[in-house]
Chain A
Amino acid sequence: MIHMYLPIAGNSVNIFLILGLGGFVGLLSGIFGVGGGFLMTPLLMMFGIPPTVAAASDSNQIVGASTSGSLAHMRLGNVDIPMGVMLLIGGIAGGTVGVQVIKLLRAMGNADFLIAITYVIMLGGVGGYMFWESLQGLKKEKTGDSAEKVDPVVEKTEGKSLIQKLPFQYKFEKSGCEISMLLPLGFGILVGILAAIMGVGGGFIMVPVMVYLLRMPMHVVVGTSLFQILFTCVNVTIMQSWSNHTVDFVLAVLLLLGSTIGAQVGTAVSKRLKADQLKIMLASLVLLVCVKMMAGLLMTPTIMVALKGGH
């Protein structure tokens, strides 16, 4: 009774192991507002799940975890729905463009190389900057300097006048800023393109974009990110099931049971942590994945071939 057979993945898994994995990633999702796809897919692959099935079933699981997490954050008043909708529209548009970019790169050859390099640069850059910035914030707090967190308004950024001149100005109340709707839309497109190229949901790029470029308060960032991820993953789950038959429902349900509970616990943990603590933890996680990827690229593989398409 301890193992369950996964009919689409074509393998059986230990029920408690998958519940635990789901719980761990759900916890991260609740704390940081990331989908956790960049962690879950490689972990599932380690347990013998084909990559395509791992990625598709994970997106199904994220739907559940982000529903649970969004609900919890919504109760705490942490979701900026208009901002989430703009980022989502941009993300979907960017994702569509990104898929075409990947097709073009594959046709030109060397797409894998570009994907890996994008991954390492993005993870290293985003993680490194977040880590350094949060460390400065924590240091300042210790020495008693301005203890206040990130300025929630875009006012102090350079190019203020240009941003304010953009049409469709809107007051995003929860985020505490009045900016053009084109701004989150544009960032959404950018993240969508990157996410499609890298084959991930993009939560770990979206969160820093909201923190540093849109200057949203960290707790609203987490809730809004989860809200946006929910809809992105609904789309991915249906598409993957329809065109590739790669959603393993049994695997997704097992992950879900763990992750929905994990997301609730994560939200409670997130509430107790300071913004800089949250950022430094996420930055460490992103840097860890970056180091692991770099090691994978630099060390001689034990097996010199891999199945194409993962099935």
Chain B
Amino acid sequence: MGKFVFILSILMFLTLPGQPSEASEHPVSLELTDSIIKISTFYNGTTLEASGIIPADADVLLRVSGPKENVHLKVKGKVAGVLWMNKSDAELDNTPSVYMLYTPEKSSKLLETQGVDMGYSALAKGITIKPESADKAFIFAEYVKLMEEAGVYTVNKSSIHYKDVENGQKSFSATLTIPSKMNAGEYMVEAVTVENGHVLGRSEKKLTLELSGLPKVIAALAFGYPLLFGIMAVFIAVATGLIIGTLFKGGGGSH
């Protein structure tokens, strides 16, 4: 009997507070059509499909994020009372180079769910802004604007679509946009499932962008042999100038 009570109490202990760990034991299924994107000569960004299966009553949020880095900013201000110029410095530590959010229709409530940890307000909490005296909320908001203009920070509302409800489950899909401004590197695509105000589970997939062909050769030369690369660039420029100059002389292009 004592043994039975002991086993029962261990089982109760394991089941009672264990919601988050239960969720992570059953992560969301997440698939990407490509996990490696090659950046070749005529690359102009691309798209890829993210899909998976979640419980029929649940919702899913997707996030594409880049490696974290420290960003140095110039904050504009008025000089001599009239001229707008780069006035002071600010540093944002732990900032993702890319932050793209994909949400289904009722996104605002989902983003407020405790533990979701997605969206700009969640992002702001993880970033340290220096100097201490700076207006942090203002600098963060302006930084987001700057990144949005470059196309590497986006919130894509109503971009996740559901279908095929079967056996209490449904499939989701979203088209992820990979802009050409996303540099070669490793990125993370994450999915979070939310149901009735609780996080059910998470899943993540690695997405690699790598240079190939001509861009790879040029980057290797520019960073590996910079002096040689500079001299080569000058020679090719001079040669092109001479060739075009000679061609025009021959063709009598002056009239």
- CB-based contact A305/B226 at 8 Å: no
B197 interface contact, C-beta 8 A: no
- Among B23-31, B58-66, B240-248, the one that faces the other chain is B240-248
- CB-based contact A306/B146 at 8 Å: yes
- CB-based contact A260/B226 at 8 Å: no
B7 interface contact, C-beta 8 A: no
Report Cα–Cα, A12/B41, bound state, in Å: 9
- CB-based contact A305/B44 at 8 Å: no
Partner of B248 from the list A63, A242, A264, A306 (CB cut-off 8 Å) is: A264
- CB-based contact A297/B226 at 8 Å: no
Report Cα–Cα, A264/B241, bound state, in Å: 10
A234 interface contact, C-beta 8 A: yes
Report Cα–Cα, A252/B237, bound state, in Å: 8
Given A4-B42, A5-B40, A71-B245, answer yes or no on A297-B84 (Cβ-Cβ < 8 Å).
yes
Report Cα–Cα, A243/B233, bound state, in Å: 15
- Among B71-79, B159-167, B199-207, the one that faces the other chain is B71-79
What are the residues of chain A within 8 A of B233 when measuring CB–CB?
60, 237, 241, 247, 249, 252
- CB-based contact A238/B230 at 8 Å: yes
Beta-carbon nearest neighbor of B77 in chain A: A304
Q: Could you say which interface size class chain A belongs to?
A: 35 or more
Per the 8 Å Cβ criterion, residues 208-265 of A in contact with B are 234, 237-243, 245, 247, 249-250, 252-253, 256-257, 260-261, 263-265
Interface size on B, residues (CB 8 A): 63
Report Cα–Cα, A71/B230, bound state, in Å: 22
What are the residues of chain A within 8 A of B180 when measuring CB–CB?
3, 5, 11-12
Beta-carbon nearest neighbor of A115 in chain B: B85
Report Cα–Cα, A191/B74, bound state, in Å: 29
Given A4-B41, A241-B227, A252-B233, answer yes or no on A308-B73 (Cβ-Cβ < 8 Å).
yes
- CB-based contact A238/B227 at 8 Å: yes
Partner of A308 from the list B79, B89, B214 (CB cut-off 8 Å) is: B89
B124 interface contact, C-beta 8 A: no
Given A5-B215, A71-B245, A297-B83, answer yes or no on A245-B42 (Cβ-Cβ < 8 Å).
no
Partner of B181 from the list A8, A48, A61 (CB cut-off 8 Å) is: A48
Distance (Å) between the CB of A71 and the closest chain B CB?
4
- 6 A-B contacts, Cβ less than 8 Å apart? A12-B44, A61-B237, A64-B241, A67-B242, A256-B240, A305-B142
Chain B: residues with CB nearer than 8 A to chain A?
39-45, 71-76, 79-80, 82-86, 89-90, 138-139, 142-143, 145-146, 149-150, 180-181, 183, 211, 214-216, 218-219, 222-223, 226-227, 229-234, 236-238, 240-242, 244-246, 248-249, 253-255
Chain A: residues with CB nearer than 8 A to chain B?
1-8, 10-12, 48, 60-61, 63-69, 71-72, 75, 110, 112-113, 116, 234, 237-243, 245, 247, 249-250, 252-253, 256-257, 260-261, 263-265, 267-268, 271, 296-309
